[in-house]
Amino acid sequence: MDAAEAPAWIVLGRTDRVVHAILLDGSAAELGRERVDPARLTSWIADAEARWAPRWVWHDTPQWYGALLADGIRVARCHDLRLCHAILRDSALVDDAAAVRRAVEWDAAPYVDAEDAAPALFELDHAQRPAGPPADADAALDEFLRQRAAVADSPEAGRLRLLIAAESAGALVASEMRAAGLPWDAEAHDRILVETLGERPAGGGQPARLADAAERVRAALGDPAASLDSQPKLLRALHRAGVLVESTSRWELAEQRHPVIEPLLEYKKLSRLLSANGWAWLSEWVADGRFRPVFVPGGVVTGRWASSGGGALQLPRQLREAVRADPGWRLVVADVAQLEPRVLAAMSSDTALAGAARGRDLYAGIVESGAVATRQEAKIAILGAMYGATTGESGRLVPRLRRAYPRAMGLVDDAARVGEDGGAVSTWLGRTSPSPSREWSAAQSRATEAEASGAEETHARRWARDRGRFTRNFVVQGTAAEWALAWLADLRGRLAALPPVSPEHAAPRSGPVFARQAHLAFFLHDEVIVHTPEEHADAAAQAVADAAASAGRLLFGSFPVDFRLDVHIAETALKD
């Protein structure tokens, strides 16, 4: 490792028995190559990171970084070729003729670690598993150069550079959060289950409070054998008892007045807790004081993250008390107030909406502006505007917003129109919506033909409106996801700069990299949880706030919009 010039980029790739590293300068010209013995890879990367702090270019972050983190090494920056390929391939800001669009071997699904995989996947022969992106160094270098060219040739190269850097930083964060885990108090979780459901019966069977609710339902139905877990059977039992609902969903049941309703809603609630996050979940997903979900960056078309296994993004608020910092550590729990409408104000340069949001609850600001009468109306109207509501109270309130905030509303209305016409829309940094399906396009053109039936026209129209609501929401949800990535990336750097605590204050269950270091432990669209040594809790909370301000500037420059945070320092993630 003795390059004359410090490499700005190092492309990693592997074949069966050897890892190759290709060292590049800032303009991606090759400085040299090295063969690395896989057994020495961690120390080689650690040395290169300490010496040059390059941006690591690799085919798929979890496949490289998971092992490094397990060995106690973190890197500052990377370029995830798989994720960036997906962005650039579809981006409307990239030239149609760009070579990156034709490199189909890089169209690969997220990697699933064998350890996390469902048994069915685990048992597949190697040849049957879904193909990943190419892993060897020359293929990685070729794709990297294609991606650089696509960005450099774009009229919006600056935005795309931000987006692919943020996406790649997110990939690092996702691997790191999995390595560190979310501190989880299994005893507190068990206590919540016992208080809510009753003691767990030793021999299987239902816990007492759940069984009691079931009995009260059956008594109210006058049907001692009624089945409560099968929707068709439950529906028939309700009909026999005179409760004439069309479904067994909660909102419809709640409209009815009948003695069975209260215990039935109670039963459904308890039953849901037991099946989704009961003792079985606890023993499957929590080990050694940590819940380690698999985060999937870019897993949603809009750029939001998805998760795989454990339902990480659906943890019920009921269980927040089980999220508990290690002794001597604290949680910093922070969420952004009304992220999406603030993002909409900024991307549409709507100074009136930004003004309504500045320094206060955005909904209160809208009420003060006189557009609507109450906070609840403001909330319903804003959600309706971003989701495309046309009926009900929400549909009635949206026109008032259109008068008060024409620029913001114009942006989402335009996005909807483009989507209805079969076009593509893009986020602020250039992530572009998927094209309509062949069936969708065929239905639209069929509906315009002279001999099209009324039913065909109606169906096509409804389908076009569906797509309009999708593209309307895409630009806002996707840009909010970009803001959140920028927030995460910036925060990650600030936390890494905090000093490690002494070994006697370590939290070893967070793994070798994070045992002595404040770190991100959870992320959910507009919320983060940081696990931090108590002595750095205030600094970590400040880092969360500073990172939010920094993310706003990075995306929107000096446009006067603020991103208000709710920040709590506590031992548990419970919010009052």
Contacting positions for DNA (CB under 7 A): 120, 227, 229-233, 235, 247-251, 255, 268-269, 272, 275-276, 281, 296, 299-302, 304, 306-311, 313-318, 335, 376, 380, 383-384, 387-394, 466, 469-470, 473-474, 477, 524-527
Q: How far is the CB of 278 from DNA (least distance, A)?
A: 8
Which residue, 55 or 304, has its beta carbon nearer to DNA?
Answer: 304
Q: How far is the CB of 472 from DNA (least distance, A)?
A: 7
Contacts of 159 (CB under 8 A, 6+ apart): 93, 428, 429, 430
Least distance to DNA, CB of residue 21, Å: 33
Element of type H or E holding 370: none
Least distance in angstroms from the C-beta of 314 to DNA: 4
Cα–Cα distance list, 95 to 8, 99, 151, 500 (Å): 26, 9, 9, 46
Count, residues in the chain: 576
In the complex with DNA, which residue's Cβ is closer, 473 or 517? 473
DSSP string across 220-232: HHT-TT--SS-HH
Min dist CB 300 to DNA, Å, is: 4
Give 473 or 550: the residue with its C-beta nearer to DNA.
473
**CB closer to DNA out of 27 and 128:** 128
Minimum distance from residue 389 beta carbon to DNA (Å): 3
**Residue nearer to DNA on the CB measure, 30 or 122:** 122
Strand order in the sheet with 519-523: 519-523, 527-533, 329-336, 565-570
Contact between residue 20 and residue 12 where contact means Cβ atoms under 8 Å apart: yes
Q: What angle do CA 567, 568, 572 make, to 5 degrees?
A: 140
Residue type, 88: L
Count of Cβ atoms closer than 10 Å to residue 77 Cβ: 16
Which of 138, 144, 134 is CA-nearest to residue 56?
144
Q: How far is the CB of 109 from DNA (least distance, A)?
A: 11
- Say if CB 83 and CB 171 are below 8 A apart: yes
- Closest CB 190 distance from DNA, rounded Å: 18
Closer Cβ to DNA, 71 or 266, answer by number: 266
Cβ closer to DNA: 49 or 526?
526
The number of CA neighbours under 13 Å toward the Cβ of 16 is 0
Using the minimum distance from each CB to DNA, give the nearer residue, 148 or 178: 178
Report, in angstroms and rounded to the nearest whole number, the Rg of the chain calculated over CA atoms: 26
Cα separation, 514 vs 179, whole angstroms: 9
Please, which residues have CB within 8 angstroms of residue 424's CB and are 6 or more apart in sequence? 92, 418, 432, 433, 434, 435, 471
CB-CB contact of 334 with 566 (8 Å): yes
Q: Which is nearer to DNA, 122 or 215 (CB)?
A: 122
Minimum Å gap between C-beta 161 and DNA is: 26
Q: How far is the CB of 211 from DNA (least distance, A)?
A: 15
Residue with smaller CB distance to DNA, 269 or 505: 269
Using the minimum distance from each CB to DNA, give the nearer residue, 307 or 542. Answer: 307
Q: How far apart are CA 94 and CA 108, in angstroms?
A: 20
Calculate the dihedral angle through the C-alpha atoms of 245, 246, 249, 254, rounding to the nearest 10 degrees. Answer: -30
Q: Which is nearer to DNA, 77 or 233 (CB)?
A: 233
Phi, psi (deg, nearest 5) at residue 58: -145, 165
Minimum CB distance to DNA, residue 574 (Å): 12
Considering the complex, what minimum distance in angstroms separates the CB of residue 287 from DNA?
16
Alpha helices in 261-302, H assignment, sequence order: 261-277, 279-285
266, 271, 273, 277 alpha-carbon torsion, rounded to 10°: 180
∠ CA 530-534-535 to the nearest 5 degrees? 115
